[in-house]
């Protein structure tokens, strides 16, 4: 009959052999080159577990023993191993250990989306909907429902998102991008309103945002934004209609075909500043920081008119009198005829 001490010794020996084999297998898996040939892109979706991630890597023939790797990671790092969602790029030559370490550190590649100054809400939303690195959960929401989700029920979405380049991990939801861009515009608008010139005449930050959006669409020149803002502020002060073509175009919507005609200027819409007094009911585009600053601190100018110079550089001629403005318009028409 085998003694208990001998049986225990055999059990310990057997356990040691098994553990040694397991650790040897884990070591081989961690040391084995897992990425051969080309770099491998891999996406960890939000909410994915370590087990499901390692199993997916195994199904893609990157790892051979995912459960062993998971056990080792749990033993080595415990609860500190928290997966970060996003796109990972595993370079060629990466070992299992390299892959695990990259996952542990959350070294994701960042995608990005650029919102262009002067875009309207539909252009912004279209770009967001088409982005392949974004998880779309608000795609079916109406603009009203979207603003309600952002905590601003009843607010028109136009102009409420700040144009900039936003970087994010792959799989980030569209709701996150909406919230970040919305909050950024709130911050930028609040800052501009606090820094506004005394006696500006605008009654609210919302009016400033609307004016900034018109400035954004009227000129792309940095050196002219303040003067354009000064013209519109002067017009508002004396009760003169803004007569801004971009507001008319916005009001035409999908019926605008690229040419603005006299009949368009005479067709009344809430956004036609040729037929209606004051600012339109909402912004017409996403203004950038420069246009917000111009609306808050317009140049002091006597000008109440401006028209394109026709020089091909996007510049305008600013006039304080109708006679001077008419002469500038005549010069523009002469240039245009000569160019034909």
pLDDT digits (tens, 9 = 90+) for 291-329: 999 999 999 999 999 999 988 888 999 999 999 999 999
Which range has the worst mean pLDDT, 43-47, 164-168, 179-183, 302-306? 43-47
What is the rounded distance in angstroms from the CA atom of residue 154 to the CA atom of residue 160? 13
- Whether residue 90 contacts residue 99, with contact meaning beta carbons closer than 8 Å, is answered with yes
Greater model confidence, 248 or 36 = 248
Q: 115-133, pLDDT tens digit by residue?
A: 999 999 999 999 999 998 8
Q: Output the pLDDT for position 75.
A: 83
Statement to judge: residues 273 and 302 lie in one domain: yes
- The alpha carbon dihedral of 209, 212, 214, 217 has a sign of negative
Report DSSP letters for 220-248, one per residue. Answer: --TTTHHHHHHHHHHHHHHT-----HHHH
Report DSSP letters for 108-168, one per residue. Answer: PBEEEEEPPTT--HHHHHHHHHH-TTSB-SSTT--HHHHHHHTT-TT---TT-S--SEEEE
Q: Output the pLDDT for position 84.
A: 84
Statement to judge: residues 144 and 45 lie in one domain: no
Statement to judge: residues 98 and 117 lie in one domain: no
Statement to judge: residues 320 and 205 lie in one domain: yes
Instruction: Answer yes or no: is pLDDT of 246 > 70.
Output: yes
Q: What does the DSSP 8-state code read for residue 173?
A: B
**Mean per-residue pLDDT for 136-150?**
96
- Taking alpha carbons only, the member of 289, 288, 293, 247 closest to residue 270 is 247
What is the rounded distance in angstroms from the CA atom of residue 261 to the CA atom of residue 147? 34
- The alpha carbon dihedral of 40, 45, 51, 52 has a sign of negative
Identify whether 2 is part of a domain. no
Instruction: Answer yes or no: is pLDDT of 11 > 60.
Output: no
Instruction: Answer yes or no: is pLDDT of 184 > 90.
Output: yes
**Mean per-residue pLDDT for 5-29?**
62
Number of neighbours of residue 325 by Cβ within 10 angstroms: 18
Q: Output the pLDDT for position 315.
A: 92
Q: Which of 65, 89, 105 is the last residue of a domain?
A: 105
Q: Output the pLDDT for position 117.
A: 97
Number of domains making up the chain: 3
What is the rounded distance in angstroms from the CA atom of residue 248 to the CA atom of residue 285? 13
Which residues span the domain enclosing 227? 199-339
Identify whether 267 is part of a domain. yes
Identify whether 239 is part of a domain. yes
Instruction: Answer yes or no: is pLDDT of 3 > 80.
Output: no
Q: Which of 105, 136, 165 is the last residue of a domain?
A: 105
Q: What does the DSSP 8-state code read for residue 197?
A: P
Instruction: Answer yes or no: is pLDDT of 2 > 70.
Output: no
Statement to judge: residues 245 and 221 lie in one domain: yes
Statement to judge: residues 131 and 80 lie in one domain: no
CA of residue 105 relative to chain centroid, distance: 26
- Whether residue 100 contacts residue 30, with contact meaning beta carbons closer than 8 Å, is answered with yes
Report the chain's mean pLDDT, rounded to a whole number. 89
- Taking alpha carbons only, the member of 221, 151, 163 closest to residue 188 is 163
pTM value is 0.79
What is the rounded distance in angstroms from the CA atom of residue 164 to the CA atom of residue 116? 7
Q: Please give the backbone phi and psi of residue 89, each rounded to the nearest 5 degrees, phi first.
A: -115, 115
Helix (H, G, I), strand (E, B) or coil at 22: helix
Identify whether 176 is part of a domain. yes
Instruction: Answer yes or no: is pLDDT of 245 > 70.
Output: yes
Helix (H, G, I), strand (E, B) or coil at 200: coil
Q: Output the pLDDT for position 12.
A: 57
Statement to judge: residues 224 and 312 lie in one domain: yes
Give me the count of residues in the chain.
340
**Mean per-residue pLDDT for 170-193?**
95
Identify whether 127 is part of a domain. yes
Q: Output the pLDDT for position 305.
A: 95
Q: Which of 47, 71, 105 is the last residue of a domain?
A: 105
Q: Output the pLDDT for position 339.
A: 62
Statement to judge: residues 81 and 135 lie in one domain: no
**Mean per-residue pLDDT for 156-165?**
97
Confidence of residue 155 (pLDDT cuts 50, 70, 90): very high
* pLDDT-above-90 percentage for the chain: 58
Greater model confidence, 210 or 104 = 210
> What CATH number does residue 88 fall under?
3.30.1490
**Mean per-residue pLDDT for 279-300?**
97
Token pair belonging to 159:
């102009």
Identify whether 143 is part of a domain. yes
What is the rounded distance in angstroms from the CA atom of residue 190 to the CA atom of residue 175? 22
Statement to judge: residues 209 and 330 lie in one domain: yes
Report DSSP letters for 41-105, one per residue. Answer: EEEEPTT--HHHHHHHHHHTTS-S-HHHHHHHHHHHHGGG-----EEEEE-TT-BHHHHHHHHHH
Statement to judge: residues 206 and 335 lie in one domain: yes
Q: Output the pLDDT for position 191.
A: 96
Number of neighbours of residue 139 by Cβ within 10 angstroms: 12
Statement to judge: residues 139 and 256 lie in one domain: no
Q: Which residues pair with 111 in a beta bridge?
A: 168
**Mean per-residue pLDDT for 1-14?**
58
Statement to judge: residues 153 and 228 lie in one domain: no
Identify whether 169 is part of a domain. yes
Q: Output the pLDDT for position 240.
A: 96
Q: Output the pLDDT for position 280.
A: 97
Identify whether 1 is part of a domain. no
Number of neighbours of residue 253 by Cβ within 10 angstroms: 10
């Amino acid at each position: 009959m085998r003694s208990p001490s001998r049986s225990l010794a055999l059990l310990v020996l057997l356990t040691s052999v098994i553990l040694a084999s397991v650790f040897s297998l884990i070591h081989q898996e961690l040391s084995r080159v897992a990425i051969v040939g080309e770099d491998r892109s891999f996406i960890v979706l939000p909410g994915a577990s370590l087990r499901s991630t390692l199993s997916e890597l195994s199904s893609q023939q990157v790892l051979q023993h995912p459960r062993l790797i998971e056990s080792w990671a749990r033993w080595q790092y415990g609860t500190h191993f928290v997966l970060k969602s996003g796109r990972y790029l595993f370079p060629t030559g990466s070992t299992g250990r390299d892959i695990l370490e990259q996952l542990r550190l959350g070294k994701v590649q960042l995608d990005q989306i650029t919102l262009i100054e002067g875009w309207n809400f539909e252009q912004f939303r279209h770009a967001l909907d088409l982005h392949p690195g974004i998880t779309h959960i608000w795609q079916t929401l109406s603009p009203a429902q979207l603003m309600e989700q952002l905590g601003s029920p009843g607010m028109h979405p136009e102009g409420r998102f700040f144009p900039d380049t936003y970087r994010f991990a792959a799989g980030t939801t569209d709701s996150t991008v909406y919230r970040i861009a919305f909050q950024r515009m709130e911050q930028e608008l609040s800052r501009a309103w606090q820094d506004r010139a005394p006696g500006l005449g605008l009654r609210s930050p919302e009016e400033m945002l609307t004016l900034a959006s018109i400035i954004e669409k009227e000129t792309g020149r940095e050196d002219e934004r303040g003067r354009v803002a000064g013209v519109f502020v002067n017009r508002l002060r004396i009760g003169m209609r803004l007569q801004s073509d971009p507001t008319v175009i916005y009001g035409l919507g999908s019926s605008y075909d690229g040419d603005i005609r006299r009949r368009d200027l005479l067709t009344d819409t809430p956004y036609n500043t040729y037929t209606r007094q004051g600012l339109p009911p909402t912004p017409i585009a996403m203004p950038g920081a420069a246009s917000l600053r111009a609306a808050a601190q317009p140049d002091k100018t006597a000008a109440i008119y401006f028209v394109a110079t026709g020089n091909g550089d996007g510049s305008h001629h600013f006039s304080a009198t109708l006679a001077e403005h008419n002469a500038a318009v005549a010069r523009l028409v002469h240039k245009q005829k000569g160019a034909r």
